[in-house]
Structure 1
């Protein structure tokens, strides 16, 4: 069916032709879930056949949210205000008081797919929505990794959060009691980009460094360690961090056998709710303690603590920007990846605006 249009601001601030994480798979069931994405209210639910549907969460009659309605056993939503009925594809099936359904009574449906622990949504041109476009770098298909996932809302623009996760030197200060050591801020990064994939990459390799508290607790390693961080950031919203910690080679005795390296994956989906709020989805993977529910709980709790610390910092910045406006910034070499991402986002917005 022809998709109803949604009014756009004169100056677009969000990339739309990209897969955004909309929800955890576990959140979407046979009930109506409302979520605002890129400033647009969406309703998600799972049909009796198990397929996820995503519709504009506004009845075209008087704009009443469909989440205030009722989902029937036939997968049809009945608007809770005046009873307009809509199928999973957004087609208006009936209206009260007449047989003829008025034109433009359908609601917009959005392409969705499931990958890893997430439901993904495409807010742009549905003809371009290819699920194969979700990067394989997430590692969700890798059986060596066990993932723990969750989501929170942060009161800050998604670009501020991207700056935060692309410059991991803040770990030395914001996360000093958990995963940060002085070497993170003191070690240079190498960075590169791929315009064809809208990808920014950054790596930091640290040798003979302190083992931070979180890694000591989870792996049993003691200082010194060798530590690596490799970032793949798919502008504007998907962040993948591959980490590795291992006993320092400089202190290793070959008689002790091979060193055990511990690998982790950190997946962040930075889905804009609005210009000043962001859905922060996460999936944290590890290749150790695979069948340990206590480790799952520890990882979940630890990640929420890290996000809370980051949320405070970017929230402070957002409040200052709201009250005082943008400020002149001094950048250094450790900002390289974040600066590349900012410029790439601007180019992607311009390219999308040109069609």
Structure 2
């Protein structure tokens, strides 16, 4: 009898693995086991009885059945729902039905996870390199003067298309014209720089005497003109932090009214690849005003979901065209500088990881 033909392995997309990705909202681990695909790999996320977050490869070594479809006991042991293999939170196979000896290679791969801010973060690469201190402090999660509204959606586009979108904020003038976009964003140049040691791209836009967009009028009470600033920190490949400031324009401020009160915000995005053409879009929107205001929290959440929906529609169109026709020739401008730097940095990081010894991948 001829040997059965093995199924050809699908071509795996390239992802940076030795970095921290946002895997879930903290609150998502307060319920049953959570199956989530990250970098094309199904992961099972849950908490042990003492609250410790755990991430296991979500495939039983026996026949590949998802462990998230099994049961998690009060002893923190997962029982596979297909054939009853039992696994501890460290991935060790504790027992199998029908025999006393546990087969070799029956353990499940584990991944380092930590909690930081409103998120659970995962390291999909070499566990020995997973240092929680590498999660950038620029998120502002440790700053008590800010409150954050978190959330998560999935977008049908490659994470690099989404990074291009958030690194060139001139699209706000058009995609988000009824919310946060004014002509000033597209008409104001940016300054940019990079820090290769941190895989960091920075870009800033300063807009004096700018029009106050509808969203900021509603949330702060400010009227045009305002002085507006945007400062981006993008940690290639997946963490984006935008610091924003809006304040009554100095040109119309009366010193007799006292000091100007700037309204500060932080926009944190985790662009975690689900696959080559789908992306987990985690967000945490921070502000230093209206703290403890539940109505403002809900307005921020709904507003952010509307913004993401507009962006998602645009990048999904680009993804569909790229799938059908391949990459399109591009003409770039100075406003694309940060996105182009990030693209080149991502390529260098992928090459550096591929060239590293196997033990460091």
Shorter-chain TM-score range: over 0.9
Which residue is equivalent to 1:174? 175
From the superposition, tell whether residues 125 and 108 of structure 1 become closer, same or farther in structure 2 (CA, over 3 Å).
same
Corresponding pairs, count: 349
- Equivalences for residues 198-277 of structure 1 within 5 A: 198-277=199-278
Counterpart of 2:33? 32
Aligned residue in 1 for 2:187: 186
Identify unmatched segments of 5+ residues in structure 1.
1-6
Deviation at 1:29, TM superposition (A): 2.4
State the Cα distance separating 1:31 from its structure 2 match: 1.9
Write the deviation string for residues 99-126 of structure 1: whole angstroms up to 9, x where unpaired. Answer: 0011100010000000000000000000
1:10-57 deviation per Cα after TM superposition (whole angstroms, max 9, x unaligned): 775100000000000000025210000000000000000110010000
- Is the partner of 2:175 in helix, strand or coil? coil
Structure 1 residue aligned with 2:315: 314
CA distance in 1, matches of 2:10, 2:330: 28
**Secondary structure, aligned partner of 1:121:** strand
Name the counterpart of 2:151.
150
Q: Deviations over 1:115-143 (max 9, x none)?
A: 00000000000000000000000000000
Within-5 A mapping of 1:28-177:
28-29=29-30, 31-177=32-178
The 1:140–1:35 alpha-carbon spacing in structure 2 relative to 1, beyond 3 Å, is same
**Structure 1 CA distance for aligned equivalents of residues 118 and 131 of structure 2:** 18
Query: Using the alignment, how far apart are the partners of 1:9 and 1:202 within structure 2?
Result: 38
How far apart, CA to CA, are the structure 1 residues paired with 2:117 and 2:248?
Answer: 31
What TM-score, normalized to structure 1?
0.97
Q: Distance in 2 between matches of 1:253 and 1:31?
A: 57
CA distance in 1, matches of 2:169, 2:200: 17
- Secondary structure at the aligned position of 1:302 is classed as helix
- Aligned partners of 2:240, 2:121: CA distance in 1, in Å? 14
CA distance in 1, matches of 2:9, 2:213: 47
2:12 and 2:288 mapped to 1: Cα distance? 44
2:21 corresponds in structure 1 to 20
Q: Distance in 2 between matches of 1:36 and 1:334?
A: 33
* Equivalent-residue separation in structure 2 for 1:236 and 1:280 (angstroms): 13
Distance in 2 of aligned mates of 1:226 and 1:62: 60
For residues 299 and 12 of structure 2, the distance between their equivalents in structure 1, rounded to whole angstroms, comes to 43
For the Cα contact (< 8 Å) 2:13–2:276, is it kept in 1?
A: no
Whether the 8 Å contact between 1:30 and 1:47 is mirrored in structure 2 is: no
Instruction: Tell me how large the CA RMSD over aligned residues is.
Output: 1.2
The answer for the alignment partner of 2:359 in structure 1 is none
Q: Distance in 2 between matches of 1:298 and 1:17?
A: 36
